[in-house]
Structure 1
């Protein structure tokens, strides 16, 4: 009897310790990062050197298998990024296919490290495994080229979200970076595209779009949407690339999720100057989470780091995919519960993904 007593005390003390350990939480909770730009960096290496680094091993990138495993990452949405120039020279469709095929080949050749993730069914079972799920998100809808059938085409190729535009307005939407606002938000085709993405089960991403397009998507979409890598304009006044309080509230009303971007410019834009780059901190990054949650609640915020997409601008303590425990540690310091942290790390994104899938499934069966 005495042995059982000591054993129960040991289990209690162990759980108290481990449950407050950031590394333990990272390894035992589902972590989904909705925006990692490694594919385009690999592509650039291939173009320049004829080969690229092996991401199943340690690399110079922000993301690789070793860093992801150390950080507890379970699902990386790899960005299939199409620069604005590709919509001008007509190469976006070809490049999108090349990038998708490159990622597929890497995953196939490293099946003991990665697997392609096409649905949300098994996500809850991933923590504690040594496999990293790779999902695909298309950054810039230029390859759609005005053809709604391309949504199904790219869905079948593995794409699970589409960022409607990027740094320049395209045939779908005005861009937050572009003074050319030819559509006043979404084009006529863009509005049709939103409905088609709903029907197919493709998540809509409204990072990069203009404010008007952002709100129009929310009016049209029948399911929650995401902003896959955006932070709060409250901390970066006047910078349209981030999301205003009004937009965040509308996104939450839609059921959607704001995925906080880690890039220092997204976190502390006003502190940058020409003399010396001012890197953000983990604390400043979590300030964005705090404010979003104070405005709309815990169910509408997630992680969209932009690893490998923002160059050497990442915050001190959040430099690569091994650093999610540092984020968790700051959440714990601020009194976040484990259930709240679980929602931020991946639960909220999982909910959106399932709602998008369920709507498309119901739409098909009807």
Structure 2
């Protein structure tokens, strides 16, 4: 995998740091999982902590708190080395009930909160703008923090907002629900795709209908991602991805990142592993990743053993026990996410040369 010639610092996990349910996993597999994550940490495609913190009084994420499922100790215990911090808000998800100005204002508030979070914890979090930033953060023992996605509905007949988001550090865009990305891509939609490619902004197709997802994957010259999903073949949840879309992602060198939302995957670690098996089979070993959708408050249902980021080693141990080669687990945790970021940068450089 790219950039692994530099020996990274350990992300600071050990088998003794894991919570009690780890006993359900064979000790040998768990030790292998911990060792693997020390070198190839998790690049998690979706965490909603920024929105959750916006709704709460001041919260110190350097200490564990039952009020949220994500904090720095649990990220480190789980071997998380990179995190995409979602900038979507409820008004963006319920786009039909929100004005464009409201969605834009909410999104800017999210960006401000995310950047404040990184300034507050510089020894643990650092803003990442590129694949090299990912590697550098890992090698310095920090969690590379990507901003995005932002909602595509913030772009209304002008690409200025997209360029402004890029200048603020945003590196992914979610077209779902945008008027330019419906059954057919509008002329402006094609412009958005081209400009996102030029800026190395990833298109995150989460919640796009299958036909729209396939069309966007085909229109983009850079790989696309689905930052939190699961296999519709195993659970026909509307947020899950069909085999048709997984095949389109494989063709486009894209990435489907599996969530830990029980409504989409089921209520056990084994069920999540089943979805990972299926996505790997259809999208290929280079097309599967992890997008847990942590970052919520108490009461959000999670699969047993995966209630917060510290559970990642148990999931990796389960995959190793199922026969996943360590090389493919390393792609799942780190390599595939880094590849799509780097490929987006290659596409942007090529677009710059053409211009």
The TM-score, its normalising length taken from structure 1, stands at 0.82
Provide closer, same or farther for how the CA distance between residues 157 and 290 of structure 1 changes in structure 2, counting only shifts above 3 A. same
Query: Alignment partner for residue 345 of structure 1, among 305, 308, 333?
Result: 333
> Which 10-residue stretch deviates more, 309-318 or 222-231?
309-318
Query: Alignment partner for residue 252 of structure 1, among 250, 266, 276?
Result: 250
Q: Which residue of 1 aligns with 2:209?
A: 210
Is 2:180 aligned against 1:172?
yes
Alignment of 1:299-338 (within 5 A): 299-308=286-295, 312-338=300-326
What SS is found at the alignment partner of 2:145?
Answer: strand
Q: Which residue of 1 aligns with 2:98?
A: 88
> Which 10-residue stretch deviates more, 355-364 or 57-66?
57-66
Q: Which residue of 1 aligns with 2:280?
A: 293
Q: Which residue of 2 aligns with 1:14?
A: none
The separation in 1 between residues aligned to 2:227 and 2:116, in whole angstroms, is 25
Following TM superposition, by how much is the alpha carbon of 1:125 offset from its aligned partner in structure 2, in angstroms? 4.7
> Which 10-residue stretch deviates more, 20-29 or 74-83?
20-29
- Write out the 4+ residue segments of structure 1 that deviate beyond 4 Å after TM superposition: 17-20, 125-129
Q: Which residue of 1 aligns with 2:131?
A: 120
Provide closer, same or farther for how the CA distance between residues 18 and 227 of structure 1 changes in structure 2, counting only shifts above 3 A. closer
Following TM superposition, by how much is the alpha carbon of 1:128 offset from its aligned partner in structure 2, in angstroms? 6.4
What SS is found at the alignment partner of 1:224?
Answer: coil
What SS is found at the alignment partner of 1:234?
Answer: coil
The separation in 1 between residues aligned to 2:349 and 2:203, in whole angstroms, is 16
Conserved 8 A contact 2:257-2:288: yes
**Which structure's relative contact order is higher, taking Cα pairs within 8 Å and 6+ residues apart?**
2
Q: Which residue of 2 aligns with 1:219?
A: 218
The separation in 1 between residues aligned to 2:238 and 2:187, in whole angstroms, is 23
The CA deviation string for residues 245-268 of structure 1, in whole angstroms up to 9 with x for no partner, is: 111011110000110111011113
Provide closer, same or farther for how the CA distance between residues 281 and 256 of structure 1 changes in structure 2, counting only shifts above 3 A. same
The separation in 2 between residues aligned to 1:219 and 1:114, in whole angstroms, is 34
The CA deviation string for residues 9-33 of structure 1, in whole angstroms up to 9 with x for no partner, is: xxxxxxxx79952222222213100
The separation in 2 between residues aligned to 1:70 and 1:129, in whole angstroms, is 16
Q: Which residue of 1 aligns with 2:142?
A: 131
Flag structure 2 segments of 5+ consecutive residues without an equivalent.
1-27
Q: Which residue of 1 aligns with 2:163?
A: 152
The separation in 2 between residues aligned to 1:129 and 1:147, in whole angstroms, is 39
Provide closer, same or farther for how the CA distance between residues 260 and 185 of structure 1 changes in structure 2, counting only shifts above 3 A. farther
Q: Which residue of 2 aligns with 1:43?
A: 54
- Calculate the aligned-residue CA RMSD, in Å: 2.0
Conserved 8 A contact 2:29-2:321: no
Q: Which residue of 1 aligns with 2:348?
A: 360
Q: Which residue of 2 aligns with 1:55?
A: 61
Is 2:28 aligned against 1:30?
no
Following TM superposition, by how much is the alpha carbon of 1:332 offset from its aligned partner in structure 2, in angstroms? 1.1
Query: Alignment partner for residue 100 of structure 1, among 92, 111, 134?
Result: 111
The separation in 1 between residues aligned to 2:119 and 2:44, in whole angstroms, is 21
Alignment of 1:261-300 (within 5 A): 261-268=259-266, 280-300=267-287
Flag structure 1 segments of 5+ consecutive residues without an equivalent.
1-16, 46-50, 174-182, 269-279
What SS is found at the alignment partner of 2:286?
Answer: helix
Provide closer, same or farther for how the CA distance between residues 52 and 171 of structure 1 changes in structure 2, counting only shifts above 3 A. farther
What SS is found at the alignment partner of 2:149?
Answer: strand
Query: Alignment partner for residue 86 of structure 2, among 79, 83, 87?
Result: 79
Following TM superposition, by how much is the alpha carbon of 1:281 offset from its aligned partner in structure 2, in angstroms? 0.8
Aligned residues: 321
The separation in 2 between residues aligned to 1:185 and 1:308, in whole angstroms, is 33
